[in-house]
Structure 1
Amino acid sequence: MNNNVSAQWRSIAIVGPYQSGKSTLLESLLYVTGAISRKGSVVDGNSVADGVAEARNRQMSVEVTAAFSEYRGAQLSFLDCPGSVEFVQESWNALVGVDAAIVVCEAEVTKVLTLAPLLKFLDDWQIPHVLFINKMDRASTAVKEVLVALQSVSSRPLALRQFPIGQGERLSGFIDLVSEKAWQYHPGGPPDPIALPEHLRSEEQAAREELLEVLAEFDDHLLEELVEEIAPPEEEICTGLKHDLEADLIVPVFFGVASQDFGVRPMLAALLEEVPAALCTARLRGVEPGGPVVAQVLKTYYTPQSGKLSLVRIWRGSLSDGMTLGSVRIGGLYRLCGQQQTPLQSAGAGEIVALGRMEGIKTGDSLSTEAIAQLLPKAERIVPLFALAISPEKRADEVKFSAAVGKLLEEDPSLDWEQNANTREVLLWGQGEIHLQVALDRLRRKYNLPMQARLPQVPYCETIRRSCTTHGRYKHQTGGHGQFGDVHLDIRPLARGDGFQFSETIVGGVVPRQYIPGVETGVRESLERGPLGYQVVDVAVVLTNGSYHTVDSSEQAFKQAARIAMNDGLSRCQPVLLEPIVELSVFVPSEFTARALRLLSGKRGQILNYEGDATRKDWDRISAYLPLAEMNGFTVELRSLTLGVGCFAWRRAHLQEVPEKLAERVLTRT
């Protein structure tokens, strides 16, 4: 078995905010490397990254797309990741398996903040990454201003690798700040060398000096050369760039126009030279050379042609078709390029390939031919934030519902579903409305399972404010034995969250022991729907007295007597409506904190605390209680107020009395 990691493999993720041009960049990368002979486009719906209907219909990536190419003797695996915040779990899962990432953004200062969560994830995982400032033909802001703004959201120093010749629609080329050579762009072809424009020489020199100063922060020898005004050789600069990128100490910055292939070739050439080899990334993840095969699942697909496919990064060793990983046999080995599958007999360390029919294997799982002493780290699961109540349009489809939803959740682990006991609704949970609509479209397209969807009901409950004593008698005479049960109950409220308590103080056998379970059953059933129409909680019921008939009494008769007593008593105990409250931890840039506080207050939120976020500079963490009824609207509005970067975690906290006027409106609709 070959345990060597090929130094020629490079696995690179393409990430960035929605509409930054990631899919267009992938198309350009595949075109200039010869993987495709003709470029598609997102608008036309024929790009490699938009192979599924849900992506084409929305002109946006909704899942990770894998592609393969070869260039200058190197093999390249690309993973194009969705940019929408609602599909960020896809990106996180894929990023843990790459050697480096290209972060695509626009030359717009107002959009820079949208990069903050992504850059934090990359730095937390120590994933080397470069910035590609795209759409430079539309830029209205000077590169220097854009860099200042970008530096404000990056914890790593930025290192500008190129200096533009021209700006906006007049962008015509670039100056390489390492070699100090100038190049002129040509649409659809490689750039040509030109003489360095004299009017840009002083600006180019200043930019190059800044690049060298960034590198000198991590290289004492280079720092000495700069202090002594010795021009470092080009080879030394290249070595510094490679070392610092590999260690995730700096973020090299390139720019261009992906739709015209401007800037793509020089960035790709730099990546081939400077991105760490697969062996280095494997060591960073705790996988040393030698030993059994180790791989990790980055994404799960269900395809009409091949069934289940598991996209895996091979960290060590080689995989071959028919090999057994754990207790699961590989049922096909493929290299992917969008929706195209190329069968393989084997694949080596550093590659990203798809394995067929790996039943029981999930995204994030570590795979090996032997027991793994330590599982590979995987991205944390993002808690779902938004829910829809769903049901099959056709009653006959209920039979296949569970199996289809199970596959849906395998493909997208950031989805979840539950059967709400109070409302009896099936809830599909996700990251937002678009996320859930994509999931519903998949159910219809892949599994012929059209669904109805609506906002879920709020699982209100009710409780009581006062105590009472109540009596219930059930007497029913038939031709034979009759039915007789008679109970006296004390009902009293409990503290919030104490649930339900049942006890008895029967003396003298006025209610025989064999009938008391029937009383408790009747009491419990009556709590399922109280006088306000909702489940009753936080009450205590005591059976204090009763009577029975030696012939006609039965457990069923005492259950009915208890129900009669409870229905009468609860209505006299001053019932009150309760709503579920969730506890939120809201994370926003400090400049948006005031907006977030107003948003919470306007949605009946109770602010508990707010303070600086210890993990991010210039971010705040707000702790608050919020009614569950307000949460779906809160998700959308928080993102709208914070350029899409505001986020939160939540958990169910407690039940709380609904304000009187709101309770009246709720009960009127019931």
Structure 2
Amino acid sequence: MKTYTTKDIRNVAVVGHGDAGKTSLVAACLFDAGVTERLGSVDHGTTVTDYDEDEIARKVTIHTSLAHLDWKGTKLNLLDTPGYNAFIHDAKPAVQVAELALFVIDAVEGVQVQTEKALAYANEFGRPRMIIINRMDHDRSDFQATLSSIRETFGREATPLQLPLGGQKEFTGVVDLIRQKAFVYQTDGSGRFEETDIPDHVKAEAESAREALIEMVAESDDALLEKFFAEGALVDEDLIPGLRNAVTARRLIPVLVASATLNIGIHPLLDALVQFGPCPSDLGPARGRAGIEPDAPAVERPVADDQPYSALVFKTIADPFAGRITVFKVYSGTMKADMTAYNITRNVQERMGPLYLLEGKHMDKVAEVHAGDIAAVTKLRETKTGDTFADKSHPVVYALAPYPQPAIAFAIEPKTRADEDKLSTAMSKLLEEDPALRLERDPQTKEFLLSGTGQLHIEVTVGRLKSRYGVEVTLKPPKVPYRETIRKRVEARGRHKKQTGGRGQFGDCTCVFEPLPRGAGFEFVDKIFGGVIPQQLRPAVEKGILEAAEN
């Protein structure tokens, strides 16, 4: 496989609400770039990035999947992320390791709630954005209404680079405001188009939109703004690099239009990602710490090949056949196949073996991976999601954003003894793959509790236990561990009397129980005076009370 240097790499997290068409868009990109021989379809289960049985059956993306393509000499790493509430947590690490968040917006529904959550991720990591309004061919699609909803959420920085040619069933292409040309597509999904002059009926709208675009680019840079005021316009030699800089600085959000299922508008999208999207080094140095200690000093590492190697593991895939697949982004230096890498998080050396580029479930071997690129390795013994590889003599630790806390829990019971024997091993693999899951045993009820972000999350996990590992379990509501508490002051008196000859035995002890404020715990007060009960016997009293309370 060809290798790419940092300036020729674009890492793009494809994000947005569920059913906006993210997976179909990635499928169209792969087809137009020649990666696939036919246009993948979510409905037919033929896309590269939705390859799990659950994803094909449910027609939704459940976990982030990677694909790569070459477009005019530039490598695009596309991270196809989930958009449903139960799974969107897996989009967060994808946004963290990408340099650009590509928001896919439904032209019918406009901005939806999970789009806003993905935007919060982009804001958290300071990522540039680009927007594509998809499904322009659908009934009730409305470009202007969708653009208005985008600006309400993203701000006035959202600026069209294109206008649609027609709409709904009459959507046939796009008007390119940079090149001032129209691209008229065939509607057979082939992606073939004809470049023409802008039709007369949209020429005035295109001129107005181009002026607005030029003004936004000029506003993003003082030198360009001064030139714009002096000359009244910007030539392409200023407009194109100015637009790229404005995107990188998050002062402009390009808006494009497309129909992924008809393969309309995909070529201009790929051009825009290459031409206006930042490369890994454009966002400045990678930031981490010099060690795993919380008070370790901050470290900045330039994203460049001439630096010591460092990489962050942001995903683990539990493949039934390939075993553990560790996915990482190289932040500095070059990582090579068969090298020995130091896992600074766990203080262990790992033999890397072959390196791979992921194309959905397919893996292509690559000899080396340069700064800014994303790759995978199989069968590492110790490394987990969130770990950092780094040169031992130049340590740096990168922090992966935490996963959300579970929102719902179910008790799980293996159906058979054979299922019980296999459950622990199977769940450990699924927990590695999805850190948002939890499996714990309730100390009161003795039940195993499987927790996740929602009921669908739990149901998918149970389905994977069966399909991948042949383990069947039953889901039940967790038992409620009812507990007793003291509500008023009471006294208990115990008397011991035994005469066996000699002096005999006699003891008289009184315990007083009083309620404390809820949550205050347990307090033992010793009010024995004069040594009437020997000191060495008193701890047994406290221990007995505690045992009775716990049981």
- TM-score bracket, normalised by the shorter chain, equals 0.7 to 0.9
Task: Name the % identity.
Answer: 32
Structure 2: which 5+ residue stretches go unaligned? 288-299, 343-348, 499-504
Partners of 1:316 and 1:157 lie apart in 2 by: 32
- For residue 163 of structure 1, what is the aligned residue in structure 2? 163
Q: Is the 8 A contact 2:110 2:145 kept in 1?
A: no
Kindly indicate whether residue 360 of structure 2 is the aligned counterpart of residue 338 of structure 1.
yes
Partners of 1:232 and 1:510 lie apart in 2 by: 98
- For residue 450 of structure 1, what is the aligned residue in structure 2? 472
Structure 1: which 5+ residue stretches go unaligned? 477-482, 530-670
Kindly indicate whether residue 293 of structure 2 is the aligned counterpart of residue 279 of structure 1.
no
1:115-264 matched pairs, under 5 angstroms: 115-138=115-138, 140=140, 142-155=142-155, 157-187=157-187, 188-224=190-226, 226-227=228-229, 230-264=232-266
Question: Which piece of structure 1 moves more, 109-118 or 248-257?
Answer: 109-118
**CA deviation after TM superposition for structure 1 residue 281, in Å:** 4.1
**CA deviation after TM superposition for structure 1 residue 229, in Å:** 6.1
> After superposition, what is the alpha-carbon deviation per residue over 1:396-418, rounded to whole angstroms, capped at 9, x for unaligned?
54455444333322211122233
**CA deviation after TM superposition for structure 1 residue 225, in Å:** 5.0
Q: Is the 8 A contact 2:441 2:447 kept in 1?
A: yes
Kindly indicate whether residue 441 of structure 2 is the aligned counterpart of residue 425 of structure 1.
no
Letter in 1 for 2:266: V
- For residue 432 of structure 2, what is the aligned residue in structure 1? 410
1:2-81 matched pairs, under 5 angstroms: 5-81=5-81
- For residue 521 of structure 2, what is the aligned residue in structure 1? 499
**CA deviation after TM superposition for structure 1 residue 208, in Å:** 1.2
Partners of 2:335 and 2:507 lie apart in 1 by: 72
Letter in 2 for 1:411: E
1:372-411 matched pairs, under 5 angstroms: 372-411=394-433
1:207 match: secondary structure: helix
2:331 match: secondary structure: strand
- For residue 309 of structure 2, what is the aligned residue in structure 1? 293
> After superposition, what is the alpha-carbon deviation per residue over 1:625-644, rounded to whole angstroms, capped at 9, x for unaligned?
xxxxxxxxxxxxxxxxxxxx
* Residue 495 to residue 198, structure 1, CA distance change in 2 (3 Å): same
> After superposition, what is the alpha-carbon deviation per residue over 1:463-522, rounded to whole angstroms, capped at 9, x for unaligned?
22211112357999xxxxxx9997532221122222122344456776566654444343
> After superposition, what is the alpha-carbon deviation per residue over 1:67-115, rounded to whole angstroms, capped at 9, x for unaligned?
1222212222211111112222211112211232221111235644442
- Equivalent residue in structure 2 for 1:329, among 333, 343, 351: 351
**CA deviation after TM superposition for structure 1 residue 271, in Å:** 1.2
Letter in 1 for 2:355: L
Letter in 2 for 1:209: E
Letter in 2 for 1:457: K
1:444 match: secondary structure: helix
2:209 match: secondary structure: helix
Partners of 2:67 and 2:109 lie apart in 1 by: 31
2:137 match: secondary structure: helix
Partners of 1:86 and 1:457 lie apart in 2 by: 24
Partners of 2:186 and 2:285 lie apart in 1 by: 40
- Equivalent residue in structure 2 for 1:361, among 366, 371, 383: 383
Question: Which piece of structure 1 moves more, 140-149 or 252-261?
Answer: 140-149
**CA deviation after TM superposition for structure 1 residue 371, in Å:** 4.8
RMSD of Structure 2 on Structure 1 (CA):
2.7
Letter in 2 for 1:232: L
Partners of 1:490 and 1:400 lie apart in 2 by: 50
Partners of 1:30 and 1:358 lie apart in 2 by: 30
2:488 match: secondary structure: coil
1:138 match: secondary structure: coil
Partners of 1:191 and 1:356 lie apart in 2 by: 41
Q: Is the 8 A contact 2:17 2:112 kept in 1?
A: no
**CA deviation after TM superposition for structure 1 residue 128, in Å:** 2.0
> After superposition, what is the alpha-carbon deviation per residue over 1:209-250, rounded to whole angstroms, capped at 9, x for unaligned?
211121121133443454456332123211111111122221
Letter in 1 for 2:301: V
- For residue 312 of structure 1, what is the aligned residue in structure 2? 328
Q: Is the 8 A contact 1:107 1:139 kept in 2?
A: no
**When the two structures are aligned, how many residues end up with a matched partner?**
522
* Residue 250 to residue 341, structure 1, CA distance change in 2 (3 Å): same
* Residue 438 to residue 372, structure 1, CA distance change in 2 (3 Å): farther
Letter in 2 for 1:121: Y
1:639-658 matched pairs, under 5 angstroms: none
Q: TM-score, normalised by structure 1?
A: 0.73
> After superposition, what is the alpha-carbon deviation per residue over 1:358-378, rounded to whole angstroms, capped at 9, x for unaligned?
222222222123255442242
Q: Is the 8 A contact 2:83 2:114 kept in 1?
A: no
* Residue 397 to residue 141, structure 1, CA distance change in 2 (3 Å): closer
* Residue 113 to residue 156, structure 1, CA distance change in 2 (3 Å): farther
- For residue 271 of structure 2, what is the aligned residue in structure 1? 269
